[in-house]
Structure 1
Amino acid sequence: MRTIDTRTYIDMLRGLTEEGKEVTLIVAGSSMSPFLIHHRDSICFRKPDRELRRGDMVFYQRADGQYVMHRICRIRQGDYYLIGDAQTEIEGPIKRNQIFALVTQVKRKGKWIRPGDFWWFFFAQIWIRVIPLRRFIIRMYPK
């Protein structure tokens, strides 16, 4: 088995998306829970082929070089504001050239979920609107 740096790996995947390929990645991190769980779920992503909109999950690179996959919660004057599903703090502005991929489907609990499916709709359209209530809802979720 060979171990490589995460940034190097994502750089490689980013290159594949630039070639027009769709790639799959196992989720690492907890910022997208409860929708996506660390090391359980996977995402498929590709270079965006349409205008990005509120609710889209996108991959972007922060100014410090860190790669992040979050959801667009607001677009203002060409700038994007993003947030993880487990978060209450919005990040932005993010410039369009920092966003390199659009998540097209996810494998959640072993089942593929795509736009149009209930859970996709719920997190993209409903969950994105309850940001101030998330802490309370997430605390109550296990109960």
Structure 2
Amino acid sequence: MDHSPRIVDNQTFLPVLIELIDQGHTVALTITGHSMTPFLVHGRDQIRFCRPDRPLRRGDMAFFRRKNGAYVMHRVCRVDENGCYYLVGDEQILLEGPIAPEQVFGLVVQVCRKGTWIGPGDFWWDFFAGPWLNLLPLRPVLRRVYALAFRLWKGGRAHETQA
């Protein structure tokens, strides 16, 4: 029997997962897309999510369905006085919303980041749920500084190995 991973269209697969979480299960899914970088990486990382059992809060990662039918998993940045959500990907700077609570079907409870399952209380989970949200206007600059530092570090390491 072949147990290799298969790529399935989200429009086909997510309704099956939603049915499972409606039955009380927690389900796992490999991340696709780049909007949650640097916390989650396309094709490498996974999430576990379930049906929300409480109103979402700032920092929660929520799975919702846009009015155009697209499925999206982003982080709650704020909740308005009507209980609607404004969400943003960890790679993004523009908020999306208002998202009605009825559009939200999943709450991420764990992520498998770089091969290790983590949840609330882990440094990286809490960093992206807290300080990273507060740095929203500075994200483009921070990403450029990080990329430059990474290139310089990698360049130096590549030079060391050649010597």
TM class by shorter-chain length?
A: over 0.9
The TM-score normalised by the length of structure 2 is 0.84
Identify which range, 83-92 or 4-13, moves more after superposition.
4-13
The TM-score normalised by the length of structure 1 is 0.96
Shift of 1:113: 1.1
Name which structure has the greater RCO, CA cutoff 8 Å, separation 6+: 1
Q: For each residue in 1:79-133, what CA deviation from the matched residue of structure 2 results, as whole angstroms up to 9, or x when unmatched?
A: 1000000000000000000000000000001111110111111000110111100
**CA RMSD, Structure 1 to Structure 2 (Å):** 1.3
Shift of 1:140: 1.8
Shift of 1:5: 2.7
Of all paired residues, the percent bearing the same amino acid is 52
Identify which range, 1-10 or 102-111, moves more after superposition.
1-10
Equivalences for residues 43-82 of structure 1 within 5 A: 43-77=47-81, 78-82=83-87
Unaligned runs of 5+ in 2: 150-163
Tell me the number of residue pairs that the alignment of Structure 1 and Structure 2 aligns: 143
Residue equivalent to 2:118: 113
> What is the letter of the counterpart of residue 19 of structure 1?
Q
Shift of 1:24: 0.3
Q: Which has the higher strand share?
A: 1
Equivalent residue for 2:138, pick from 124, 133, 136: 133
Q: Which has the higher helix share?
A: 2
> What is the letter of the counterpart of residue 141 of structure 2?
F
* Mapped partners of 1:93, 1:3: distance in 2: 31
Residue 43 of structure 1 aligns to a residue whose secondary structure is strand
Q: Which runs of 4+ in 1 moved over 2 A?
A: 1-5
> What is the letter of the counterpart of residue 44 of structure 1?
R
